[in-house]
Amino acid sequence: MTQRAKIDTGGGETAGSGPPVVHRPGGLTSAEVAERVARGEVNDVPVRSSRSTTEIVRANVLTRFNAIIGVLWAIMLFVAPIQDSLFGFVIVANTGIGIIQELRAKKTLDGLAVIGEAKPTVRRDGAPTEISTSAIVLGDLIELGPGDKVVVDGEVAEADSLEVDESLLTGEADPVVKKPGDRMMSGSFVVAGGGAFTATKVGREAYAAQLAEEASRFTLVHSELRTGISTILKYVTWMMVPTALGLILSQLFAKSDNVKDAIARTVGGIVPMIPEGLVLLTSVAFAIGVVRLGRKQCLVQELPAIEGLARVDVVCLDKTGTLTEGGMNLTELRPLHDADETYVRKVLAALGESDPHPNASLQAVVDAFPETPVEWRCTASLPFSSARKYSGASFSEGDGENSTWLLGAPDVLLRAGDPVLADIDRLDEQGLRVLLLARTDHDLDEPGPTADARPTALVVLEQRLRPDAAETLAYFAEQNVTTKVISGDNAVSVGAVAGKLGMAGAEDTVDARTLPADREEMAKVLDANAVFGRVTPQQKRDMVAALQSRGHTVAMTGDGVNDVLALKDADIGVSMGSGSEATRAVAQIVLLNNSFATLPSVVAEGRRVIGNITRVATLFLTKTVYSVLLAVLVVCFQVEYPFLPRHLTLLSTLTIGVPAFFLALAPNTERARPHFVRRVMRYAIPGGVIAAVATFTTYLLARHHYTGPDALAAETSAATLTLFLVSMWVLAIIARPYTWWRLTLVATMGGAFLLVLVVPWLQQFFALKLIGVTMPWTAVAIAAAGGVLLEFVWRWVGRRFPA
């Protein structure tokens, strides 16, 4: 076995203050680990995939509206029959459902997080051991390779051409070369080379932990749905306060002879103003989406990411690991300029041996040439990096001759116009990946070792296409989601692979080295083309920003360290489960089964959540609008509020609560559209106004029609009938397009209300009894007129203000 590239070791002072760190090549002993754990010197920062149980319960119970309803419920329990307190029991049930569903989602998330959790390698008792991040103790010697994330602060103990990217912490994208004694900051990641470092700060003392409690999270997904609902609730609160005050005063004045009934009717007017189930159903919809995706081995690290991917209109794909599988096969070795093939094989075997952390391309070389020349000794090595596009090594060949070799991208190592490039282009057009083996007289640490590179052989690799990639690309095309392949490989080769998968525009490829630096000009090129090769990590980041500058919502998929910057800056980052630790840390969605075909399921879940919440939000806010307007009309006309809490509990349950639960969880493939608040309110406002005016009209007519001691009950029953029928019309519109189960749902709700009207004990329980013939049919006629007006207004709004 040849000697690997020399690894420097040493110790020194930790950057900043503190005692010197002693490098222990064999790491800590088991006894030392136990001692440190006992002292609490352990990396105890929780890596949470979701909220804690306490936070879930608090978030569902301690809300502004629960507080308001709780106070009103307590009042009603003292001043009115139990029927008028039903709304409180409904809120308790809803809150319980929300907690149970979110805990269920938490269990799924936490289970998946354990599967996808990074397992850093530490040396203990002289042997490398994989452990969980939380098991690292102070003084542990942690090994590093390309793609590994630095999980705690420390000091470099061993360095083998170690290059670290600290951009997630400092914003500086250039890799930093690390030598023994240099400081390592948690949150950075290795882009090239390898080594080991000694943990000097763990837990909440680590640098990244000081920046954020969850060390792996540096960005949060923007959720228009969450923001929109918060905005709506804010405005609802502003409307509620003055309206409720006016209603309280008017009812006490109108019913001064019966204070308890006045209080009951006041509460009946306030409770329906609160869209209490809207937040609940949103949480439930997200939680059930997480559980469904969890069954498909998809870890959603931030709940709104489901929504975000559904809004995406551009998906940027890294070829390797996304369209192709990670492994490669060496299919041909083509010596150039009469080079001796046996000698070339020795060189390739030695290059494979020189890198302790080979990437996929070099691993294919290692697999093809496992027999390394015993007499060769590696004197220096340069690991592969995405920025350089090549790796290299210097050897003493045993006979006194020294040589330096480079292996990497042919169009980087050769000058433009070199005749060898013509042969490479023909191979690229077949979708093959080609590496050039070249000899150089320059040292690897010189500024330009490629200046006099002499081509010696072509190494032809075949990439394995993912069997599900073509179907997934076709899905995105059908859904009008643009796909862009952004790869560090040769553009022609990337285009050939995309062409084999049936991707539109694959024949027009762009070499990223020709892209303009100006963001606006770059965005124009990106919009016009679909396949880009020779893209550097920084360019990937710039390309994501350029697309976003044109108003696109961008998702980025990838699995290598060269994708980290772009994944972080994209609206949604998607990482393969087999990807590097750094990519999994910054991605919002991790495909643990490494299947690109899972993405359509995530998109479908997002569309289901957004489309259905938009539907049910319209139901809830229609109720809020008509409740506020009814209260205002009651105050203005100085009449008794027509409803008791039991009436509106019944109406809310049949026209909103039960239907909304089923509609929120139903399949929905409608493409997500922006402007959630505008789209909901443009229908909720006219719907609520029509319902309120129709109901109040029926109530005023009933007040003139009925006389006697039971007049108020008869007036309430007539008004309730009108409001129910108009609300059912709103539900019928929301439920479109009709399916058998949606028609059954609407019919069942109508049948339940009819049951209340005809069963005597239900009539008595809900204080509903239609008296006579004239007024009930008048109530139906007014509701029918309101329904026709609803149809006309909603269709006009749809044409006048398209989404």
Residues marked active site are found at: 318
Q: Are 196 and 123 in contact (CB under 8 A)?
A: yes
Helices 259-270 and 64-79: crossing angle in degrees, nearest 10, is: 160
* Secondary structure class of 307 (helix, strand, coil): helix
Q: Closest Cα partner for 589 from 620, 619, 556, 613?
A: 556
Please, what is the end-to-end C-alpha distance for the chain in angstroms?
68
**3-class secondary structure, 156:** strand
Contacts with 709 (C-beta within 8 Å, 6 or more apart), sequence order: none
Cα–Cα distance list, 6 to 263, 349, 402 (Å): 85, 18, 16
Place of tokens 């149809």: 791
Q: Are 361 and 435 in contact (CB under 8 A)?
A: yes
Query: Hey, what amino acid is at 325?
Result: E
CA 570, 576, 580, 586 torsion: positive or negative? positive
Identify the CA nearest to 2 among candidates 368, 379, 366: 379
The string of DSSP codes covering 62-81 is S-HHHHHHHHHHHHHHHHS-
Structural contact between residues 109 and 299, judged by C-beta atoms closer than 8 angstroms: yes
Dihedral angle at the C-alpha atoms of 598, 599, 601, 606, nearest 10 degrees? 150
What DSSP string describes 158-173?
A: EEEEEEEE-HHHHS--
**Burial class of 736 by CB neighbour count within 10 A (0 to 12, 13 to 18, 19+):** exposed
Question: Which residues, in sequence order, are CB contacts of 226 under 8 Å at separation 6+?
Answer: 282, 304
Q: What single string gives the DSSP state of each residue in 437-497?
A: EEEESS-TTSS-TTTT-EEEEEEEEEEEEPTTHHHHHHHHHHTT-EEEEE-SS-HHHHHHH
> Shortest CA distance to 571 belongs to which of 277, 284, 302, 289?
302
- Between CA 372 and CA 381, with CA 376 as vertex, the angle to 5 degrees is 90
Q: Which candidate, 178, 162, 169, places its Cα nearest to that of 207?
A: 169
Give, as one character, the DSSP assignment of residue 656.
I
